[in-house]
């Protein structure tokens, strides 16, 4: 009797669940936990279920829609790259000459 081991063909591929890739799974999970907390707050405050359920359902659908859209648009690391790229300044301004005056040339170069 021999043991047959299956080969993991997903090496170096991002985690994917129903089309949602990498960090977007975490975003969706955190969003769903927040929605559960909002529902609990509504329930404790005495808000009617006829009001709170549609609100939570609409917010949940919106959360799922945006997470799927961002996952498809940006991919595994695209949203992080987009956030980093948006923080790069368009221009670097130096309004004072003292920085350049303080620089000295090395001898022999």
Mean pLDDT by 10 residues, the chain (109 residues): 70 74 87 96 93 94 92 80 85 79 63
73/68 Cα distance (integer angstroms): 9
Question: Closest Cα to residue 54, out of 33, 30, 38?
Answer: 38
Burial classification of residue 33, based on how many CB atoms lie within 10 Å of its CB (0-12 exposed, 13-18 middle, 19 or more buried): exposed
12/14 Cα distance (integer angstroms): 7
Which residues in 36-74 are b (16+ Cβ under 10 Å) and which e?
Answer: eeebeebeeeeeeeeebeeebeeebeebeeebeebbeeb
27/32 Cα distance (integer angstroms): 9
pLDDT recorded at residue 38: 95
pLDDT recorded at residue 50: 93
pTM greater than 0.85 (yes/no): no
């Amino acid at each position: 009797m021999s043991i047959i081991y299956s080969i993991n063909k997903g090496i170096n591929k991002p985690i994917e669940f129903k089309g949602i890739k990498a960090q977007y799974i975490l975003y969706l999970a955190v969003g769903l936990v927040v929605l559960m907390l909002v529902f609990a707050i509504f329930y404790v405050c005495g808000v009617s279920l006829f009001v709170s359920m549609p609100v939570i359902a609409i917010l949940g659908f919106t959360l799922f829609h945006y997470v799927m859209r961002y996952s498809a648009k940006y991919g595994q690391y695209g949203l992080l790259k987009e956030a980093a790229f948006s923080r790069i300044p368009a221009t670097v301004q130096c309004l004072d000459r003292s920085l350049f005056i303080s620089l000295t040339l090395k001898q022999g170069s």
